[in-house]
Amino acid sequence: MKIVKIIAIVLLVAFVGIQFIPTTRNQSDTVPSTDFMLVNNVPETIQKKLQVSCYDCHSNNTQYPWYNKIQPVAWFLEDHIKEGKAELNFNEWDSLSSRRKASKLRSIIKQIENGEMPLDSYTFIHKDAKFSEAETEELISFITQLKDSL
Amino acid sequence: MKTIKQKLIIPIIAIALVSVTACKDGSKNEPAAPMSNEMHKENPNHDNSDGHHDGQNMEMAMNGDGNGQAVLNDYFNLKNALVGDDNGKAKELGATLATSLGDFDASQYTDTQQSELKDIVEDAVEHAEHISESDIAHQREHFKILSKDVTDMVAITGTENTLYQQFCPMYDGGSAWLSMSKDVKNPYYGSQMLNCGKVQKEIN
């Protein structure tokens, strides 16, 4: 019993300890003028969907739920956001050339079609981030149109 | 009293266990020094990436001098790996191509050409990098856009050898690629439909 107690205390201290390791928060008050929504004429339903399903990892501003402030969840998330923004940052959309925009739009279409995005680990918690069949269709036709107009 | 303690301890252990296993380090032994654990965690990552770069540098040395021809050679090697349905080799060659694209020197071209080349290279590097870490279906998706990039690049840089732009009407609504040989060997389908496609254009 004594050993169990000691282990428990050590682990508890460790758990509390890792809470003090700083993480970078992905948060910003301003939306730059290069934002996808600002430079494209995006229908309101699609704007909402992109905000809820994509912008947490693909923009400079994440809406953090409370448990994402707790380690080690925060680390896991920090990594995902870093990777997500490197692939595609909607806030910086207009700084891309037409060639790169076309490339990104093509990837968006493929990944949504194949159900690779949003990530399962994300929709598991954010149920409203999932795409219904109708939503998928609407988004893909919009993105395709945007790609063809480049 | 004892039972209450026990009841409390179990969830605490559970929470702590989750946190410790998830961060994969030895914080159990050094709870007082979390920062150093963090550093331990990062070091092997740095080592890995350095090793990776070394490997790439070796390939680069074999490819020569950072000109358009080196990019083309790596592109054709990658194309052949896809023709051969070789996912592993295509991964390697995707990384090689990303390196030779990165080494590409555009300084001899005009300003307009330079800015277009920079744009092409940036896009192509991204696709080559994705090819270096994807399954074969994804590799082929990226290869399609990569082929467009390389074709646009050749339109500016020219080529030492005659190239053939080939076209398969079946893959993804019609997809083109470049080849050194007139014979059609399809990189989008490999053995599944090796000879599907036709020569669309000769590039000199």
The dihedrals phi and psi of B178, each to the nearest 5 degrees, come to -110, 150
**Chain A residue whose CA is closest to B120:** A99
A chain contacts of residue B15, beta-carbon cutoff 8 Å = 12, 15
Q: Hey, are the CB atoms on B13 and A8 less than 8 Å from each other? A: yes
**Chain B residue whose CA is closest to A100:** B123
Spatial CA neighbour of B131 closest among B73, B201, B77: B77
Q: Tell me which DSSP letter residue B26 carries.
A: -
A22 upstream amide cis, omega within 30 of 0: no
Q: Hey, are the CB atoms on B12 and A12 less than 8 Å from each other? A: yes
- pLDDT recorded at residue B66: 59
Is there a contact between A147 and A107 (Cβ–Cβ < 8 Å)? Answer: no
Spans of all domains in chain A: 2-148
How far is it, in rounded angstroms, from Cα A95 to Cα A35? 9
- pLDDT recorded at residue A25: 79
Q: Hey, are the CB atoms on A17 and B27 less than 8 Å from each other? A: yes
How far is it, in rounded angstroms, from Cα B150 to Cα B112? 17
Q: Hey, are the CB atoms on B16 and A20 less than 8 Å from each other? A: no
Which 3 state secondary structure label does DSSP give A65? coil
pLDDT digits (tens, 9 = 90+) for A104-140: 999 999 889 888 899 988 888 888 899 888 999 999 9
Q: Hey, are the CB atoms on B27 and A103 less than 8 Å from each other? A: no
Any A CB within 8 A of B203 CB: no
pLDDT digits (tens, 9 = 90+) for B25-75: 433 344 444 444 444 444 444 444 444 444 444 333 343 455 788 899 999
Polymer length in residues for chain A: 150
Q: Hey, are the CB atoms on A100 and B122 less than 8 Å from each other? A: yes
B chain contacts of residue A14, beta-carbon cutoff 8 Å = 16, 19-20, 27-28, 31, 34
Query: Could you tell me which residue, A77 or A136, shows the higher pLDDT?
Result: A136
pLDDT digits (tens, 9 = 90+) for B74-124: 999 999 999 999 999 899 999 999 999 988 888 888 988 888 899 999 999
Q: What ipTM describes this predicted complex?
A: 0.73
Spatial CA neighbour of A89 closest among A149, A18, A50, A36: A36
Query: Could you tell me which residue, A16 or B12, shows the higher pLDDT?
Result: A16
Residue with token string 């080196």: B70
Spatial CA neighbour of A77 closest among A92, A58, A57, A97: A57
B chain contacts of residue A12, beta-carbon cutoff 8 Å = 12, 15-16
Is there a contact between B154 and B163 (Cβ–Cβ < 8 Å)? Answer: yes
How far is it, in rounded angstroms, from Cα A93 to Cα A55? 12
